[in-house]
Structure 1
Amino acid sequence: MTKTDVVVVGGGHNGLTCAAYLAAAGLKVTVLERRSVVGGAAVTEEFHPGFRNSVASYTVSLLNPKVIRDLELHRHGLKVVERKMSNFLPLEGDSFSVGDGVTKAEVARFSTRDAERLDAYGDRLERIADVLRELVLMTPPNLVEGGLAQAVPELLKSAALGKRLNRLDMTGKRDLLALFSQSAGDWLDGWFESAPIKAAYGFDGVVGNYASPYTPGSAYVLLHHVFGEVNGKKGAWGHAIGGMGAITQAMAACCRERGVEIRTGAGVAEVLTRGGRATGVVTEAGETIQARAVVSNLHPRLLFESLVDPGVQPADFRERIGRFRSGSGTFRMNVALSELPRFTVKPEAGDHLTAGIIIAPSLAYMDRAYMDARTHGWSKEPIVEMLIPSTLDDSLAPAGQHVASLFCQHVAPVLPDGRCWDDHRDEVADLMIDTVDRHAPGFKGSVLGRQVLSPLDLERTFGLVGGDIMHGNLSLDQMFSARPVLGAGDYRTPVAGLYQCGAGTHPGGGVTGAPGHNAAREVLRDAKRRRF
């Protein structure tokens, strides 16, 4: 039997972030990771001889600057470079590009009116994003039962939240309401008339979101993706040299330097409780590790449905965890390429090949893709975002050759009619390759090898329930104080001494480090108050 102060279950990026902060405060911390490598969905692996890539998560923007600073990730080897262009959309007989110095001229080719509104759109969205960036590292007010002593701290949090939001003028407050309640399509239709700019921005409303761009609430998902920054530049997207695993390896190096014990190949079979309090864990190998506190980086449903005794969970809480919606309609591929793709509308090599290449020319196309997936199981004309990180990082592939990430939507998290993803994985992978090949003839012939991850594979490999890259839908009833369940939105759970630090808590998905940062703060507050 082993003893420690805190056991962190799951060595994904939020678990590592949480462990690093706890260790810095002097606690003895043990991280247990089921896989043979830490990093969760943010890992880099060789998938074809000589070709390496980010396996699941694939691009950098949302990683919080404070986490980068506090964990000294650059000192531990992290280097992030900005894309030379943000997005490139191949269209029928034309193309559309988004990036510094080119967006307005590109929009003007399709609509002078839209080009004139572009600056105002950006300014209005950025004002909202600035306020919400401040909330990312805030512990949400928690709805509690009990007397005044329990209620006062949460009321103070609510007052602080209200003060932040009150800095918005009436225009900003109206925009905030619209972005939280409207669809991305309705929001964008209110601003623009031309299809390409609405498609470029609307993609952010469906990425990792199994929904139509006209699904109410998808405007917030759009907003969620503009919070980020790269090297101090707001709204930018970039690439970690060495792939996304470079982020989590830097985090692991920070943890080890601070004295954290990291164990791989150490899945957890059970969270131990006594008298309604978490007291440690039992590993899949049968080892008991006693701890003053347990922090879970797992999806909420995996934690409470598989590891925690139902008898210590309030019935209503357990029921609502079972209803926690999770499934992002994601089909993920990595491909080894003998050469760069040549798009019919822009065959020459250039900065557009460093961009997020989005095959989805309009909101209507995205809407059809979603409806098709709901009926058939996958879109016959899917949405594909392709990145070619080897254009920015030559360490990923042999000289003259390349790797590409394909983030594909929409596919049903669970196929209809009882079909299994294992029986259709290659069929759908072929469709995704063919979709790119229609815009870049010869792409299919350049594929030397591929790695394919269906929603079921993402769940089995990384614990992403329903293949959900966000660890749960970013809908209004599953956000902020209600993430994952109202009354457990402050990283604590109904089981004393058991905490959550994963993306199933505020502020949600993406490689941010924010849930890990925030959870560590609450654990340390409780430690100071001798609550464990």
Structure 2
Amino acid sequence: MTVDGILIGGGHNALVCAGRLARRGLEVLVVEQAPALGGGCSRAEDNRVPGLHHQVHSVFHRGITAMPWYRELQLERHGVRYLEPEANIAFHLSDGRALVMHTTGERTAESIGRLNPDDARAWESLGHQWQPVVEQVINPLLESPPEPAATRRERLEQTAEGRTFLGLAGLRPVDAVLGHFRHPAVRALLCAIMVLREIDITVPGQGFQLAALVAGRRRAQLCLGGARELAEGLGRALLSLGGLAWTAARPRRILLEGGRAVGIELEDGRSVAARRCLISGIDPGQTFLELLGDACPPGLAESARAYRYSTVGPLFGVHLALRRPPRYRAAEYDPAVQRAFMHIFGADGPEAYTGLYPACAQGRIPAPICLNGSVPTLFDASLRGKGGEQAAFVWQKVPYALGGDARNWDRMAANHARTVVDRWNCYADGVQGDNVLNSFTNTPLDTERRIPNMVGGDLNVGHLSPDQAWDSRPFPLAGDYRTPIPGLYLCGAGTHPYGNVTGLCGHNAATVVARDLALPALPE
């Protein structure tokens, strides 16, 4: 079989890339080793409660409906629907108070003002000041292939918004937070959100993320029917454009002719030829060290081996099937808490989040136990059990190599789940006792086993540091989606801008491939 282009991996970035290329007339095939497309965009039915569905990996999708590829691929025509809860994030304090981030800056400022009027004024002032930075600089940078660093800096220095961006970008995110806000809870909330978006708040280079939080309009959204519906919608869009997708098809190696990537061989012995391009949506290690193997040029192999994964990327999850949803105690302070989409609790100040980095690097469970979670079924009745049962979960940032060995999770998961639920119980009623119908855990090792692309359980598929960002992500030899192997491109979360469910890695990669192949432009 021969097609124009092959995409390795069926995660959402590869599907976005494939759909955009198919829309420009390229005959593409997506090859995915799992039984279903989507990678972390999945859902699972509870094994004890009929009809109840859990989302194990991916729930909070930031501003998906504003992404350019979402509109281009007309996903709503293919059944994809999103909800953006107005009470977007609730940050719980140990004393029963809470800070609620709403979808509007004014309501968020009101919530902040109950804790600290000065911070509320700063929130509103910075929101106005930074809005053009977000709209004219940050969003365009993330939605485009990366420029060389020197070119990007020279261009940005020409405008006031660009200079503001550069000033923020040079900061550690935690320092940007501490420099603009005073109340410990406000500081902790902002640090927590960046950590949960896989931003390392302790290294310079991503301080501009604070502006995106304060002035940006892209809030957490819920895909109705579960995250799997995004993957299935992308798959339907691809098929409608003439593309193909194979599942349960594991690649064995990338085929080269004269040093050029010309196809793949599958584990079952089948081969597929690619006339024009081969695009990998999986991590650099699998792409270069496993699928290319001995055919990988020494310099490229060395770069792939040196690629670093995040020690604060992995999650430990506890998922509960409940008769009724939890009742958060902070709702007495602010009733909007009970209607919040994401809940964050366990820390009253930012030091708990900076402390994650040394603890995880040393293989220790961080203390205090900081959690975030949700009850997606409150917002999406289609996921509830047949008797109206609810699915709730909490996640904790933890080390992959617990005590120096990831296999320790297999014997320690149950005990740690009890500790996590005890911590959850400090903030919410209904997460223990007769209200609980079923429970299960998901460890970083479970994540890696289920989704090999997430090496070490790293949801970001690579640490986001100054030397692994922009045109150096994953590394300079492949920092613009092109690789030193002619015909071989990258489009996964290990490319610019970074992981999370945004689809921008696949979107930007498709722009580069379409440009290289001189594919026809589409009308606006």
TM beyond 0.5: yes
In the alignment of these two chains, the number of paired residues is 504
Which amino acid in the other structure matches residue 140 of structure 2? E
Is the partner of 1:471 in helix, strand or coil?
A: coil
Identity %: 28
The structure-2 alpha-carbon separation of the partners of 1:227 and 1:461, relative to structure 1 and needing over 3 Å to count, comes to farther
The structure-2 alpha-carbon separation of the partners of 1:521 and 1:191, relative to structure 1 and needing over 3 Å to count, comes to closer
Alignment partner, residue 70 of structure 1: 72
Cα distance, 1:165 vs. partner?
5.6
**Contact 2:363/2:400 (8 A) holds in 1:** no
Which amino acid in the other structure matches residue 198 of structure 1? R
Of 102-111 and 36-45, deviating more is 102-111
Alignment partner, residue 103 of structure 1: 108
Is the partner of 2:368 in helix, strand or coil?
A: strand
1:85-484 mapped onto 2 (5 Å cutoff)? 85-96=87-98, 97-99=100-102, 100=104, 101-130=106-135, 131-141=137-147, 158=151, 162-163=154-155, 166-169=158-161, 173=163, 175-209=164-198, 213-217=201-205, 219-220=207-208, 222=210, 234-292=217-275, 293-313=277-297, 315-327=298-310, 328-346=313-331, 351-353=336-338, 354-359=340-345, 360-398=347-385, 399-409=387-397, 411-418=398-405, 420=407, 421-445=409-433, 446-462=435-451, 463-484=453-474
**Contact 1:204/1:221 (8 A) holds in 2:** no
Which amino acid in the other structure matches residue 103 of structure 1? T
Cα distance, 1:202 vs. partner?
1.4
**Contact 1:62/1:511 (8 A) holds in 2:** no
**1:38 and 2:30 aligned:** no
Which amino acid in the other structure matches residue 75 of structure 1? R
Distance of 1:223 and 1:456 partners within structure 2: 34
The structure-2 alpha-carbon separation of the partners of 1:502 and 1:438, relative to structure 1 and needing over 3 Å to count, comes to same
Distance of 1:110 and 1:223 partners within structure 2: 21
Alignment partner, residue 485 of structure 2: 495
Cα distance, 1:455 vs. partner?
1.6
Which amino acid in the other structure matches residue 499 of structure 1? Y
**Contact 2:63/2:221 (8 A) holds in 1:** no
Q: Give unmatched runs, 5+ long, in structure 2.
A: 520-524
Cα distance, 1:441 vs. partner?
3.5
The structure-2 alpha-carbon separation of the partners of 1:56 and 1:142, relative to structure 1 and needing over 3 Å to count, comes to same
Relative to the length of structure 1, the TM-score reads 0.88
Cα distance, 1:218 vs. partner?
5.7
Deviation per CA, 1:180-218, whole angstroms, max 9, x where unpaired? 23223221111121111111111122215485x445456
Is the partner of 1:190 in helix, strand or coil?
A: helix
RMSD of Structure 2 on Structure 1 (CA)? 2.6
**Contact 2:8/2:279 (8 A) holds in 1:** yes
Alignment partner, residue 507 of structure 1: 497
Alignment partner, residue 522 of structure 2: none
Which amino acid in the other structure matches residue 60 of structure 2? T
Distance of 1:223 and 1:336 partners within structure 2: 37
Distance of 2:342 and 2:368 partners within structure 1: 18
Distance of 2:143 and 2:431 partners within structure 1: 42
Cα distance, 1:379 vs. partner?
1.9
Cα distance, 1:178 vs. partner?
4.4
**Contact 1:334/1:403 (8 A) holds in 2:** yes
Q: Which runs of 4+ in 1 moved over 6 A?
A: 224-228
The structure-2 alpha-carbon separation of the partners of 1:218 and 1:405, relative to structure 1 and needing over 3 Å to count, comes to farther
Cα distance, 1:142 vs. partner?
5.4
Distance of 1:414 and 1:71 partners within structure 2: 40
The structure-2 alpha-carbon separation of the partners of 1:181 and 1:309, relative to structure 1 and needing over 3 Å to count, comes to same
Cα distance, 1:457 vs. partner?
1.7
Is the partner of 2:517 in helix, strand or coil?
A: helix
**Contact 1:32/1:263 (8 A) holds in 2:** yes
Distance of 2:426 and 2:344 partners within structure 1: 13
Q: Give unmatched runs, 5+ long, in structure 1.
A: 144-154, 229-233
The structure-2 alpha-carbon separation of the partners of 1:207 and 1:218, relative to structure 1 and needing over 3 Å to count, comes to farther
**Contact 1:5/1:27 (8 A) holds in 2:** yes
**1:525 and 2:522 aligned:** no
Of 469-478 and 422-431, deviating more is 422-431
Distance of 2:203 and 2:318 partners within structure 1: 26
Distance of 1:22 and 1:61 partners within structure 2: 24
Which amino acid in the other structure matches residue 312 of structure 1? C
Cα distance, 1:162 vs. partner?
4.3
From 61, 76, 79, the counterpart of 2:81: 79
Distance of 1:210 and 1:329 partners within structure 2: 13
Is the partner of 1:74 in helix, strand or coil?
A: helix
Distance of 1:186 and 1:333 partners within structure 2: 32
Of 259-268 and 330-339, deviating more is 330-339
Distance of 1:221 and 1:469 partners within structure 2: 18
Distance of 2:395 and 2:131 partners within structure 1: 26
**Contact 1:44/1:246 (8 A) holds in 2:** no
The structure-2 alpha-carbon separation of the partners of 1:65 and 1:205, relative to structure 1 and needing over 3 Å to count, comes to closer
Distance of 1:3 and 1:504 partners within structure 2: 28
Distance of 2:28 and 2:349 partners within structure 1: 49
Alignment partner, residue 150 of structure 1: none
